[in-house]
Amino acid sequence: MKTNWNHIKGYVRLEIIGQDSSSFINTCLQSDIQIWDIQPLDHNRVLVSISISDLRKAKAILKENKLKIRIKEKKGTPFLLKKMWKRNGFILGMAAFIFVLFLLSNMIWNINVTGANPKTEYELRKAAVEIGVTKGKFIFLLPNVREIQRQLTEKMDNVTWIGVTQHGTSYRLEVVEKEIPEAKPITGPRHLVATKEAVIHSVFVEKGQPIVGVNDYVKKGSLLVSGLIGKEKKPQLVSAKGKIWGEVWYQTEVEVPLNTSFQTYTGKYKNRHYVSLFGLNLPVYGFSDGEFKDKTETLNETPLYLAKWKMPFSYIKKEVRETDGVKRSYTKAEAIEVGKKMAKKELGKKLPEDAKIKGEKVWQQNVSNGKVKLTMLYQVIENIASEQPIPIQQGE
């Protein structure tokens, strides 16, 4: 172990010339000067090894004993580095090559999209650019593939699923598009029937024979406009066309807690950067915790590559965000008003675009387990007409 340590520090192999070499060796040992590999050559010469850290002390003793020295060998790391530095051009070039290769090995070179039509692929690539997934971007500066997948899925409304995989310097985006069945146009004669139970509010018929009038009550499937017009014995078949507006009732239930505790972000954050080596995280930049009392932490670890080989260390970015605990309390009246807004918003998601809410009513309300429970009734005006083909035998 001592020999290895001396090799790291560096040592010299000296030839001691003179008749008093034994006195020199004894003095070195008494002065705690490391000296080893003593090899007598003849009665006036001896070879020894001395650490370069003790060489100055050894020269002073040699001078006192009027001995001469001849350096035979220089060994150890310092001399090796000095020798290598004489070829610094080659070393710097090699280091620069490895550094550039490392950067290129951790840069996006290709993004492949499969399973998407040209329009969806264009929109997906555009969404990928918005979150930073683009050619030439360093991989370790991007979120992990799960986060990329989540963000892309949120941005794309016309896909069912997006899979993101990384293969070296390439990203592969697999897309499963939503299968929206094409509405087959109904050709030929047809009736208009009711899609749901309602009270007729207004009738607008372009073609066909109206069967119902204002204030009539209809059930689901009831005939609204007939595609048979003309004489009863010889009716003419037409494609009934029009809009039948009906008054429909909807029921919505919501719950509003009277007391709620939740966390919000204050906007303050601190990023910390690490290099992970064999499971040990070594801080590189951003050492402080940000002195946040309440916080959330998000880790993003990216493996690093040299060419196609995965290196034993990775880059870790930790985002520390300050949170603020907030308590919200409602009175019963306030909770009812909030519940009304929530229920109306939920109903709006179910209604057709041209539907209108005519009225609303609190049907039931009660407080239990710290929550206000509401049952809301809504009076909605919407088009309830749906096309129904007329069987051929009926027209015959």
- Distances in Å between the alpha carbon of 386 and those of 19, 185, 245, 369? 122, 12, 11, 44
Give the Å distances, CA to CA, from 33 to 57, 74, 237. Answer: 8, 18, 119
Q: What is the DSSP string of 318-379?
A: EEEEEEEEEEEE--HHHHHHHHHHHHHHHHHHHS-TT-EEEEEEEEEEEEETTEEEEEEEEE
Give this prediction's pTM.
0.48
CA distance 117 to 320: 39
For residue 150, the surrounding DSSP H or E stretch is: helix 145-155
Q: What is the pLDDT of residue 394?
A: 43
Please report which helix (H) or strand (E) contains residue 380, including its range.
strand 371-383
What tokens were used for 222?
């009831």
Class of domain 110-177: alpha beta
pLDDT of residue 161: 87
Comma-separated ranges of CATH 3.30.70.340 domains in the chain: 2-81
| Tens of each residue's pLDDT in the chain, 396 residues | 455 667 777 888 888 887 777 777 777 877 877 788 888 887 788 888 888 877 778 788 777 777 787 888 888 777 777 777 777 777 788 888 888 888 888 888 889 998 888 888 888 899 899 888 888 888 888 888 888 888 888 888 888 888 888 887 888 999 887 766 665 665 678 999 999 999 999 999 999 899 999 999 999 999 999 888 877 777 888 888 999 999 999 999 999 999 887 777 777 878 888 888 777 877 877 766 557 777 888 777 777 777 777 777 788 888 888 888 778 889 999 999 999 999 999 998 889 888 999 999 999 999 988 899 999 999 999 999 999 988 765 444
Query: What residue ranges of the chain are covered by domains with CATH 3.10.20.310?
Result: 110-177
Return the CATH number of the domain spanning residue range 2-81: 3.30.70.340
What is the structure's pLDDT at 288? 66
